[in-house]
């Protein structure tokens, strides 16, 4: 039977603690998900929704830019290309300058200097070749979330519960040996939800299925190592990282992701 762990214990009082976060772990068995441990905790410190869109700059150069314009013109989407005549003249000028300053670079290096053709052009002519830098869309990355929790026990029962929750989260994040150690099983997947009074909080983002990629346990949450009378740390800070297992794309925004 799946466990349901709740901390602090008064988290069940929705009037006192209406906001909390829920972690439902699932075992992935040949593509089928089976619910395991369910953990409800106070809202973590500092919640945010990360950006995942990746753009980059690429230097096309004159030849690459000519190809780009030619392809755009061929498919009928070119609205800014220069005339063939003007581009031809630009190519001629660039080739001519390149020959002169490349020769200068070779001569300079032959005499023990280190000047480049681009450096010589800049120094002599006050200009350098246009690199034709173009913005390139590289794709979308998986969203990653970091959650920090502070566990402060108030009783012996709290100590046991905190220890159980941390152990369960670590256990779910780790693989297990299979086939006498020849293989490693996948760790558990997790469904994460921001909750409000027992239901999902409609004003915060939803999550795709996620995997826990880090659990750091700091036993000196108060700044130094202090304990209760039974030896349990006075405060434990747990830092966790989660990576979603599916991409979030445009259509997912309307679904709350």
pLDDT tens digits for range 187-241: 999 999 999 999 999 999 999 999 999 999 999 999 999 999 999 999 999 999 9
Entry field: residues in the chain: 257
Give 100's contacts (C-beta < 8 A, 6+ positions apart).
Answer: none
Do 159 and 242 lie in one domain? The reply is: yes
Domain boundary, last residue among 106, 139, 172: 139
What gap in Å lies between CA 14 and CA 253, rounded to an integer? 28
pLDDT at 85 over 80: no
How many domains in the chain? Answer: 2
Do 181 and 123 lie in one domain? The reply is: no
Note whether 20 and 6 are within 8 A (CB).
no
What gap in Å lies between CA 173 and CA 213, rounded to an integer? 7
Do 152 and 42 lie in one domain? The reply is: yes
pLDDT at 120 over 90: no
Note whether 197 and 18 are within 8 A (CB).
yes
Which helix (H) or strand (E) segment is 167 a member of? helix 156-173
For residue range 93-119, list pLDDT tens digits in order: 666 665 665 665 566 666 666 666 666
Packed helices 117-125 and 84-110: angle between N→C axes, nearest 10 degrees: 110
Do 91 and 162 lie in one domain? The reply is: no
Where do we find the tokens 């909390």?
A: 20
What gap in Å lies between CA 25 and CA 178, rounded to an integer? 20
What gap in Å lies between CA 208 and CA 91, rounded to an integer? 50
Do 83 and 126 lie in one domain? The reply is: yes
Where do we find the tokens 């409609």?
A: 202
- Percentages helix, strand, coil for the chain, rounded to the nearest 5? 30, 35, 40
Global pTM reads 0.76
Packed helices 61-74 and 84-110: angle between N→C axes, nearest 10 degrees: 160
Do 46 and 58 lie in one domain? The reply is: no
Do 48 and 150 lie in one domain? The reply is: yes
Do 188 and 163 lie in one domain? The reply is: yes
Tell me 223's DSSP state: S
Do 157 and 130 lie in one domain? The reply is: no
What gap in Å lies between CA 51 and CA 68, rounded to an integer? 29
Note whether 212 and 173 are within 8 A (CB).
yes
Q: Which domain holds residue 118?
A: 54-139
Do 147 and 163 lie in one domain? The reply is: yes
For the chain, counts of helices (H) and of strands (E): 5, 12
Do 39 and 133 lie in one domain? The reply is: no
pLDDT at 81 over 60: no
For residue range 9-56, list pLDDT tens digits in order: 889 888 899 999 999 999 988 778 899 999 999 999 989 999 899 888
Domain boundary, last residue among 104, 139, 174: 139
Here the tokens at position 25 are 């772990």
Q: Nearest to residue 144, comparing CAs of 208, 50, 253, 53? A: 50
Domain boundary, last residue among 115, 139, 163: 139
Do 38 and 162 lie in one domain? The reply is: yes
Where do we find the tokens 């979603």?
A: 244
């Amino acid at each position: 039977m799946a466990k349901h762990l709740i901390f602090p214990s008064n988290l069940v009082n929705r009037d006192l603690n209406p906001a909390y976060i829920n972690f439902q772990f699932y075992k992935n068995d040949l593509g089928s998900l089976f619910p395991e441990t369910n953990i409800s905790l106070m809202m973590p410190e500092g919640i945010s929704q990360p950006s995942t869109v990746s753009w980059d700059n690429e230097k096309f150069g004159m030849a690459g830019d000519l190809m780009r314009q030619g392809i755009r013109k061929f498919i009928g989407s070119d609205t800014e290309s220069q005339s063939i005549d003007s581009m031809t003249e630009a190519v001629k000028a660039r080739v001519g300058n390149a020959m002169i300053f490349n020769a200068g670079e070779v001569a300079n290096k032959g005499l023990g200097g280190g000047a480049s053709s681009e450096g010589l052009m800049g120094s002599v002519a006050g200009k350098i070749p246009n690199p034709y830098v173009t913005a390139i869309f590289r794709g979308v990355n998986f969203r990653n979330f970091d959650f920090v929790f502070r566990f402060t026990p108030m009783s012996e029962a709290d100590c046991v519960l905190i220890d159980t929750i941390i152990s369960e989260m670590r256990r779910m994040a780790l693989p297990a040996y299979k086939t006498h150690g020849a293989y490693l099983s996948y760790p558990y997947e997790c469904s994460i939800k921001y909750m409000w009074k027992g239901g999902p909080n409609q004003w915060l983002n939803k999550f795709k299925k996620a995997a826990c990629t880090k659990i750091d346990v700091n036993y000196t949450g108060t700044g130094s190592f202090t304990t209760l009378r039974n030896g349990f740390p006075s405060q434990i800070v747990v830092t966790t990282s989660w990576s979603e297992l599916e991409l979030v794309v445009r259509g997912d925004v309307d679904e709350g992701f």
